[in-house]
Amino acid sequence: MGAGWSAGRAWLALTARVATLAGLVGEIWPMPARTLYDKLWEAHVVREEPDGTALLYIDRHLVHEVTSPQAFEGLRLAGRRVWRPATVLAVPDHNVPTTDRSQGIQDPVSRVQVETLERNVREFGLPAFGMDDPRQGIVHVIGPEQGATLPGMTVVCGDSHTSTHGALGALAFGIGTSEVEHVLATQCLAQKKSRAMLVRVDGEAPPWVTAKDIALAIIGEIGTAGGTGHAMEFGGAAIRALSVEGRMTLCNMSIEAGARAGMVAVDDKTLAYVRGRPFAPKGALWERAEAAWADLHSDAGASFDRTVVLDAGRLLPQVTWGTSPEMVAPVTGRVPDPDAEADRVRALGMRRALEYMGLEPGTPITAIPLDKVFIGSCTNSRIEDLRAAAEVVRGRRVAGNVKLAMVVPGSGLVKRQAEAEGLDRVFREAGFEWREPGCSMCLAMNADRLEPGERCASTSNRNFEGRQGQGGRTHLVSPAMAAAAAVAGHFVDPRELVGS
């Protein structure tokens, strides 16, 4: 301990000297101002090809049961080992039941996939949480929760919502199964640098306008391909005001704007969030990490290829009405009319969406009745999400026309925390089902799904056709809006239900 302390001190003194020297050099040859993305990228380049393709080093590889079996099979067929097993964290989440698990998984196909993951982590000696581990949960909830994903890291997972971890000031992005195999075998990925995009959200979000509403409003503004080819940094007063969990919701949805990655600069909130997490550095190592992380922000004057500015003060709670996250309206709005759309391809898309959703143009959003309500997913299943929903639900009842309202916590530890706060009772007394953690009805790979024609207020991330079950109709909303809709039986301005 003593040795570590003095070594830490010596190191700090050394870095101070290096910093002074760098400052001096900087005055003579000014370093170009760099974006957060530049910094994260440059720190991870192992080598670069003449065409600019870089071999990028990966610090953390999250693995789940759906996109990994073919990757492990590839390693076996080629006789390859895992390059650095200690960087992997594996957990089953997509297929796990959210009801009683004592009988295991009933669906034989889902069971094979979860068992295949268990066999693979044993064979290759990888860190993993099993289905019965209290720490099990959605991969993008447990990474930050455990301190397994940290500021300054490169984080990948065979899952598009890996962008979530960018909330900690990390470079985090989703990859396909071939790339999962590539990272397992080499700890690297061949990547071309994306363009840098800044989404600045100024002002102060009004009450009931949450990170989810900001995310949906951004997507409504720039479209689901608005961020394609870009790494997206979120900044501005409204982002700094968000909690770290709120930033996770926002970065999670950056893939719905098409972005390669989403990220937020490190600040005191980030450090307070990470400090003391099970896998976060401790003691002298923490001091060093904290000092290094202080630089994880875009420099003043750094240039972005594209900048989008929104005023949070003008935002309202959002509800999607179509089959793409960009098809979104404020809760006070109406379902739009495709005849008013000038672009032919877009108008066609809107017509198809309205037909699938069973909606008429001009219908007030608040007149849309609901069959089911789902609070959960890697977007909105953390403790603050559950608190926000419980606050709306407390002392109220789920409306009679709502057949099923369910809360699926993001992890075993979120569930435990919520129960310690009595939130489970609030939900149960109102008529919600209180479930075990997993991806659940966000993509309906387990038994939780919509039946054809059923309409759902969902805190998840995708309203694609069939996403929550074939023929199911999904409206994306915040946890507070989902809770308010469960109580009212239709969408409702939470400001009217609960007051400001």
- DSSP notation for 68-127: SHHHHHHHHHHTPPPS-GGGEEE---SS--SS--TT--SSHHHHHHHHHHHHHHHHHT--
Closest CA to 160 of 461, 417, 446, 494: 461
**Residue 85 vs 489, nearer CB to other proteins:** 85
Burial tier of 467 (Cβ tally within 10 Å: 0-12, 13-18, 19+): buried
Residue 184: CB minimum distance to other proteins, A: 9
**Residue 260 vs 475, nearer CB to other proteins:** 260
Residue 371: CB minimum distance to other proteins, A: 18
Residue 431: CB minimum distance to other proteins, A: 28
Residue 224: CB minimum distance to other proteins, A: 6
As a whole number of angstroms, the distance between CA 130 and CA 101 comes to 12
**Residue 116 vs 303, nearer CB to other proteins:** 116
DSSP state of 236: S
**Residue 237 vs 347, nearer CB to other proteins:** 347
Residue 195: CB minimum distance to other proteins, A: 11
**Residue 279 vs 366, nearer CB to other proteins:** 279
Distances (CA, A) of 8 to 11, 152, 272, 278, 286: 5, 20, 21, 21, 10
Q: Scan for tokens 């009217």, then name that residue.
A: 496
Residue 412: CB minimum distance to other proteins, A: 8
Residue burial 18-40, b: 16+ Cβ < 10 Å; e: rest:
eeeeeeeeeeeeeeeebbbbbbb
Residue 162: CB minimum distance to other proteins, A: 8
**Residue 396 vs 449, nearer CB to other proteins:** 449
Torsion (CA) 148, 279, 64, 476 in degrees, nearest 10: -50
**Residue 184 vs 209, nearer CB to other proteins:** 184
Instruction: Report whether 113 contacts 66 (CB < 8 A).
Output: yes
